[in-house]
Amino acid sequence: MQNWINSKKYFSEAKKVIPGGVNSPVRAYVAVGGEPLFIERAKGAYIYDVDGNKYIDYVLSWGPMILGHSNETVLKAVSKAMKKGTSFGAPTKKEVELAKLITEIYPSIEKVRLVSSGTEAAMSAIRLARGYTGREKIIKFEGCYHGHFDSLLVKAGSGAATFGVPSSKGVTKGIAQDTITLPFNDIEKTEEVIRRERENLACVILEPVPANMGVVLPKDNFLKRLRQVTSENNVLLIFDEVITGFRVALGGAQEVFGVKPDLTVLGKIIGGGFPIGAFGGRAEIMDELSPDGPVYQAGTLSGNPVAVSAGIATIKELMEKDTYEKLDKITGELVTGLSKIIVKTNHEAVINRIGSLFTIFFSDKNEIYDYNDVSSCDLKKFAEFFQGMLAHGIYLAPSQFEANFVSTKHSSVDINKTIEAFEHTLRREKKTY
């Protein structure tokens, strides 16, 4: 059993000066109970807390650390960049290099604008879609998360296909009524609402493979039919690939599923662990952005040379041969092993996985295809599972509604240890049930 004395001490200090003791809510372990670990350092697939405990890390800073922590090449690129200055508020060659890399890897992206977070990128993409089309309404899907932008903190209203209601205090009814929230994977309902609302509908935004309700896979043809109905009705399609971009494939979900959106939102991996976001698409749309166009968008640290250097180094390493085949293989070994334990210990759970992204759902359903399905999960069981794995030195996403990530540094030894810990955890949890 780990001792967490220092984490507890730091957490009580933190709560005196930081709301909830954290700078982002999910870190507070509200969904799983207990108190958050304070992290001292990380290397490769491992993370170390302030009490000296070591964990195999499947959070990887919520996705960016796909090469593992403290990657030598990334650190070298960052230190080289820092010696030349850390921020200029002026154009640099590195920004152009990253923009070129993104446009080469994502055929749907002819031009891209760099910002400092995924939220900022999604927010800017929505404003651009509204500015380019001259229309106001947007469609999102229940369970998809695109950052904490007001227009996207909206849940389904009384009738799923009517206008939204705020999902957070501080978001006005006026903002929420311009957002329609639909059930993910329900293509018939989506086609019907797009056709009905087309006159004042700017865009549809989605995670092509949602990871913010846990990993949920698009049903066959959902993305292709969504592309077709948005094109037919002149509605922009925005893929939020902040998680899936450079994760499920170098070219993201749009490469895996062969669907080209009008705009793409990126983040996380393209910053290699530094603050970053990006949004891009067809030049005729992107050219509507200031200073050339009438849609204003700006940022002090946008395209920051240090963050951009980390991103370029990360992407170049990801472009090396067989990176994604290896990631897919090791994640496949893990998920196969975990699935066997679920059967062996006679538990009710199902694992959704794509590439090196996976979620274990504690549900009696055989398939998890939308937010409704996820809401059927046994959250108490999930919390016990999370705490049990943590006690065995396995650091997972502290919420049933999140994804877990594998890096190029996770080894077969790590995978076997994780599977072993899973069996011990489920068996012990079985005893208490």
Q: Catalytic: which of 55, 106, 145, 324?
A: 145
Stretch that binds ligand KE4, among 10-18, 35-43, 113-121, 154-162 (CB under 6 A): 113-121
Binders of ligand KE4 among residues 262 to 281 (CB under 6 A) are 267, 277
Q: Which residue, chain included where needed, has tokens 């996705």?
A: 63
CB of 119 to ligand KE4, least distance (A): 3
CB of 211 to ligand KE4, least distance (A): 6
Say whether 51 is catalytic: no
Stretch that binds ligand KE4, among 141-149, 289-297, 308-316, 377-385 (CB under 6 A): 141-149
CB of 149 to ligand KE4, least distance (A): 9
Does position 122 interact with ligand KE4 (CB under 6 A)? The reply is: yes
281: which strand partners? 111, 263
Q: Which is nearer to ligand KE4, 68 or 277 (CB)?
A: 277
Q: Catalytic: which of 49, 57, 186, 240?
A: 240
Q: Which is nearer to ligand KE4, 26 or 256 (CB)?
A: 26
The three-state (H, E, C) secondary structure of the chain, written as one string:
CCCCHHHHHHHHHHHHHCHHHCCCHHHHCCCCCCCCCCEEEEEECEEEECCCCEEEECCHHHCCCCCCECCHHHHHHHHHHHHCCCCCCCCCHHHHHHHHHHHHHCCCCCEEEEECCHHHHHHHHHHHHHHHHCCCEEEEECCCCCCCCHHHCEECCCCCCCECEECCCCCCHHHHCCEEEECCCCHHHHHHHHHHHHHHEEEEEECCCCCECECCCCCCCHHHHHHHHHHHCCCEEEEECCCCECCCECCHHHHHHCCCCCEEEEEHHHHCCCCCEEEEECHHHHCCECCCCCECCCCCCCCCHHHHHHHHHHHHHHCCCCHHHHHHHHHHHHHHHHHHHHHHCCCCCEEEEECCEEEEECCCCCCCCCHHHHCCCCHHHHHHHHHHHHHCCEECCCCCCCCEECCCCCCHHHHHHHHHHHHHHHHHHHHHC
- With CB under 6 A as the contact rule, the residue among 402, 407, 410, 425 that binds ligand KE4 is 402
- With CB under 6 A as the contact rule, the residue among 146, 347, 409, 410 that binds ligand KE4 is 146
- With CB under 6 A as the contact rule, the residue among 46, 62, 163, 405 that binds ligand KE4 is 62
CA distance 27 to 36: 7
Q: Catalytic: which of 140, 260, 268, 409?
A: 268
Stretch that binds ligand KE4, among 69-77, 237-245, 388-396, 411-419 (CB under 6 A): 237-245
Stretch that binds ligand KE4, among 99-107, 144-152, 184-192, 305-313 (CB under 6 A): 144-152
Closest CA to 184 of 221, 148, 230, 218: 218
CB of 120 to ligand KE4, least distance (A): 7
Stretch that binds ligand KE4, among 37-45, 171-179, 239-247, 300-308 (CB under 6 A): 239-247
Give me the residue whose beta carbon is nearest to ligand KE4: 118
Q: Which is nearer to ligand KE4, 274 or 425 (CB)?
A: 274
Does position 254 interact with ligand KE4 (CB under 6 A)? The reply is: no
Say whether 83 is catalytic: no
- With CB under 6 A as the contact rule, the residue among 7, 53, 117, 181 that binds ligand KE4 is 117
Token couple for 23: 């700078």
Stretch that binds ligand KE4, among 33-41, 235-243, 305-313, 425-433 (CB under 6 A): 235-243
- With CB under 6 A as the contact rule, the residue among 11, 38, 106, 145 that binds ligand KE4 is 145
Say whether 240 is catalytic: yes
Q: Which is nearer to ligand KE4, 242 or 249 (CB)?
A: 242
Closest CA to 316 of 97, 154, 114: 97
Q: CB-hemisphere CA count at 13 Å for 99?
A: 20
CB of 400 to ligand KE4, least distance (A): 12
Return residues touching ligand KE4 (CB under 6 A).
Answer: 24, 26, 62, 117-119, 122, 145-147, 207, 212, 240, 242-243, 267, 277, 402
Residue positions annotated with a catalytic role: 145, 240, 268
